[in-house]
Structure 1
Amino acid sequence: MINDALGIFELRNTNQIYAKGVVKNDGLTITIKAEDKTNPASLRRSGYCSIKINVLSDSKIKFQQNSYQVSVLENLQAPFQVFDASTNTPNSDVILSIQSVTPNSGNGLFYLNPITGSLAVGKTLTLDTQPEYKIVIKGTDRGQPALSGLSTLTVKVIRNARAPSCPALKKVTISEIVAPNTFVATLTATDTDPNEFGKISYSLIGEANVPTYFQISSTGTITTKTDLKTDSVLLYKLLVEAKDGGGKKSICTAEVTVNRNLNSPVLRTLTYTKIVDSTYSLNTPLLKIDATDADSQVSSCILSLSLSLSLSLSLSLGR
Structure 2
Amino acid sequence: MVSSVMWQAAAFFMIMFQCSVRGQISYSIPEEMAKGSIVGNISQGLGLDLKRLKSGKARIFAGDNTEFVGLNNERGILLTEEKIDREALCAKTTPCALHLQVIFENPMEWYDVTVEITDINDNAPIFLKGEITFEISESAVTGARFMLENAIDLDVGSNCHLSYSLKPTDNFVLSLQSQTDSDRNMEMVLQKALDRENKKQLSLLLTAMDGGEPQLTSTVRIHVTVLDINDNPPVFNHRVYKATLSENTPEDTVITFVSASDADEGSNAIIMYYMSGNGDVNDLFMVEARSGEISLKGSADFEKASRYQINIQARDQGGLSDSCKVIIDLTDMNDNKPMISIVSMSNSISEESRPGMVVAMLNVNDLDSGLNGQVHCHINDNIPFAIASSSSFFSLQTEQELDREREAEYNISVICTDEGVPALSSSVSLRVQISDVNDNAPVFEKTNYEASVVENNTPGLSIISVKASDADWNQNARVSYILEDSTVNGVSVSSYVSVQPDSGLVTAMRSFDYETLKHFHFRVKAQDGGSPPLSSDVTVKITIQDQNDNAPQVLYPVQTGGSVLWLRLCHVLQMLDISSLKWWLLMWTLDRMPGSPINYRKLQTERCLKWVYRMEK
Same fold (TM over 0.5): no
TM-score class normalised by the smaller sequence: 0.3 to 0.5
TM-score, with length taken from structure 2: 0.24
TM-score, with length taken from structure 1: 0.40
Which structure has more helix as a fraction of its residues?
Answer: 2
